[in-house]
Structure 1
């Protein structure tokens, strides 16, 4: 039976992912300089998180990511919450998305839109450390400790009602395999997205093609991909995942800015060819879904939607998403 991702692809041809939760909250005036990062707003102003979800639906997103990337039980307990309150906060983060989705959907008719999917974000172990180690991997903990951490995160996001578990910004193949093992054991539909240091390797150093190959033949895996990565690296990463993997490929990179985990600030890119051009090149490279990660906002999501619409308009309707396209032209 087709899963939720395949159903969305059947309805849209290719689909559009939302943009950065952190950048949108900062645009609204939120101070996220905290170990909880965006999860801080689950405690202080959950209504603002709902507004961010609706903001991206209006921009053209066909799916959205819950504000649970850095929402962990230990992180909330360090802020004084009980274990029960911490777990409830994570579940409620998913419910905020579901409420925002229904409120947006009921605002007006959407004859040309798919009902958005809820992607329940599970960040890497490094995210809970709040020190940028999700861009390094090699955490120095045991496999059992890592599995215990992810079992809790995946369980809570699932209990909140996510349509698909999104294990994102994963720096290493080993962590991805642990997350996959948990989701397969529980029979949950899931998607794994890696963070990468260049156009071929994860942040920990594994070849992305080897990662895609290692995740083949997993019944509940719906999608693989790359996120929180420099946009100029993404096209080659997509091609390698398409070549070696057996699942649709997604890409939602940063806008090219460089993150400083010490100051928790971004340095603007020196060169930028425009998100529309990048998004179109990703669809042409074989991506089934495109969106944005850190430092992207509604304009980038809208650009990805325009690129998707153009791509589908000029590409043969019967073409497989796994067909490698002709060399990319940069469209103005």
Structure 2
């Protein structure tokens, strides 16, 4: 028998013995900036009363002339999502030392839950919200709660990404409406949600990177605290984007303006499918929703992402 192969034909291939996950946002980045309420139904109503107004007393034994209490009602609706994968029992055997990707799949489910939590918060900020005694009215975010893509403090308007001027305008709008700055109540923190492109814009702003301006320096690629605003970068696909104009819609919200309702925190089950060749099913689900309670506490910021 002839020898038809050479030594290189015997070179061995080596394989990793573990499964890794693809690149993606791996946890919720907004959970720390919103209050979470437990919910045990399909919706929950939140109510608030308007500010009181006083009158000068001008006479003895005068009439009380009481005012009615103005109230507003907002509704939080919940939804459920799931992530399901099926792994063949035979595949797990045939993979040998590599083993089944069970654990990696479970981790990927939990990461998706974190991304969906952020997506729910963002949609709750900018979407319509049911209002009224029975929730029969839908309220959209008022147009005045938007900062235009060409906003400038002074001079000729010009399209831009996230800028020092836009951040300052966010802080000013929140302050004027008394949404933030309530130090006596210690719950005035606000969060600005941006994509990585806006972080790049801010890193190019001298006023945000120079210690001469008294702000915390951008040592890790993110603005941690500017004008009382926590700035968090999320996966770009979580924020609305208009491909025709290259405009990304970023969102700012104050803690007391939003609420996150939790019906079911992310749970996972791993089961053998009796009627499915005893393959393994990995099932994860969660149920929640978000509601904008105060319109003045949410602002959209249009940012130019043109190449």
Question: Structure 1-normalised TM-score?
Answer: 0.24
Q: Per chain length, whose mean CA-contact separation is higher, i.e. which structure has more relative contact order (CA < 8 Å, sep 6+)?
A: 2
Structure with the bigger percentage of strand: 2
Larger gyration radius, structure 1 or structure 2: 2
